[in-house]
Amino acid sequence: MSFQQQTVFITGASRGIGKAIALKLAAAGANIVIAAKSVEEDPRLGGTIFSAAAEVEAAGGKALAVQTDIRDEEQIAAAVQKAADRFGGIDIVINNASAIQLTGTPQTTLKRFNLMYDINVRGTFLVVQHCLPYLLKGHNPHILTLSPPISLQQKWLSPHVAYTMSKFNMSMLTLGWAGEFKEAGIAANALWPRTTIATAAVKNLLGGDALIKMSRTPDIIADAAYFILSKTNLAYTGRTFIDEEVLAAEGITDLAKYAVEPGGQLYPDLFI
């Protein structure tokens, strides 16, 4: 599948999973819009919109780096306009930006609660809303959201109810868009990993180097995203995928290459 002439608007793509997806699609010829906040590198996180853009260009795609805080509607609108001005439209939206706080109700401050809902829910909604006029005219248009399958079992909700609900809201938005935009030919799906993924968030917030060693690289999400976005005529829409099942449908069942520590134990993701 070639993504030549397709423009992909990715939130939070300066590092981690977002950047991995950007590089995968860039190698297939896509134009990549990196809509993220980082313009100066944080040593704990690594990467900026400019370093990511340079890697996209090196991978074979065309890049546009736009500093964007998706909590700010004016910044979203400006980023979308810059993308359309530069590349002529937007064909794919990838909702990757997300905030995490794994705390119970007493420990979750209002500031952190608002942050998760402003980014994960409100920001995701606004990005799609502003990109929609271009998606309606896009080539094989897709919305892909990095969020988990919805399960209302207490074991997923009770440890960190605010965060869980914000991620389930992202999936609900995506499932709703699949129905709302079906007649317009816009596919909408969610994607989530079976295991933890080796990102700065996992290292800094969840389990340090020990958990990184029990994780897979972001490349597994990038490859799964590539296959989802390659589908035409709404072959995939209204689905909440796990990365492994996407790859299995393509005949890829040996996933050893994705492990940070080959042959080591893998740690299941929060919602699996």
Structure tokens at 14: 């300066």
Residues annotated catalytic, as ranges: 163
Give 19-64 as a DSSP string.
HHHHHHHHHTT-EEEEEES-SS--TTT---HHHHHHHHHHHT-EEE
Class of residue 104 by CB neighbours under 10 A (exposed 0-12, middle 13-18, buried 19+): exposed
Q: Contact, 238 vs 194, CB < 8 A?
A: no
Alpha helices in the chain (DSSP H): 16-27, 49-59, 73-87, 110-116, 124-135, 154-157, 161-180, 200-201, 208-212, 219-230, 243-249
Structure tokens at 92: 């794919």
Contacts of 153 (CB under 8 A, 6+ apart): none
CA angle 172–89–187, rounded 5-degree value: 30
Q: Contact, 157 vs 205, CB < 8 A?
A: no
